[in-house]
């Protein structure tokens, strides 16, 4: 589907993503700025969105799929995205674990052990 999405549109790349859930949404993330703490977007904490339902949708790359025009790699500033990116949104019901550490592997194994296969 991601390849077809790339072929059917005028994009320079397609990248798979998952929707960022509440605490992973950057509009709720905090940054230390000297002695102060502020929101990631530079706003003061008193301006934080109270309800997760009111947060804008944002997406996190999940490294599942990358489809790109090879010319992107030869731009003056090489990158995988190019000038026009399309998001291939992966279902929230799909188990997607990026294993980079022993902790990630343990979580993946625990989930796998709970799954029922028919």
The answer to whether position 115 is within a domain reads: no
The answer to whether position 111 is within a domain reads: no
Task: Work out how many domains the chain is built from and give that number.
Answer: 1
Q: How far apart are CA 60 and CA 79, in angstroms?
A: 17
Element at 93 (helix H, strand E): none
Which of the 8 DSSP states describes residue 96? -
Closest CA to 1 of 16, 19, 23, 20: 16
pLDDT, residue 117, reads 64
The answer to whether position 118 is within a domain reads: no
pLDDT, residue 118, reads 47
Distance (Å) of CA 25 to CA 5, 64, 91, 104: 26, 20, 17, 20
Q: How far apart are CA 78 and CA 37, in angstroms?
A: 34
Point out the residues of the chain with pLDDT beneath 50: 118
List the domain range (segments joined by +) for residue 51. 2-92
pLDDT, residue 41, reads 84
């Amino acid at each position: 589907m991601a390849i077809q999405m790339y072929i059917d549109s005028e994009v320079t790349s397609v990248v798979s993503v998952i929707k960022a859930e509440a605490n992973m949404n950057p509009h709720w993330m905090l940054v230390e700025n000297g002695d102060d703490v502020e929101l990631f977007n530079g706003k003061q904490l008193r301006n934080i969105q109270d309800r997760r339902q009111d947060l804008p949708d944002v997406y996190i790359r999940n490294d599942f799929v990358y489809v790109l025009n090879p010319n992107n790699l030869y731009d003056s500033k090489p990158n995988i995205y190019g000038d026009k990116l399309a998001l291939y949104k992966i279902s929230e019901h799909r188990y997607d674990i990026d294993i980079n550490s022993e902790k990630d592997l343990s979580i993946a194994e625990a989930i796998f052990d709970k799954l029922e296969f028919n």
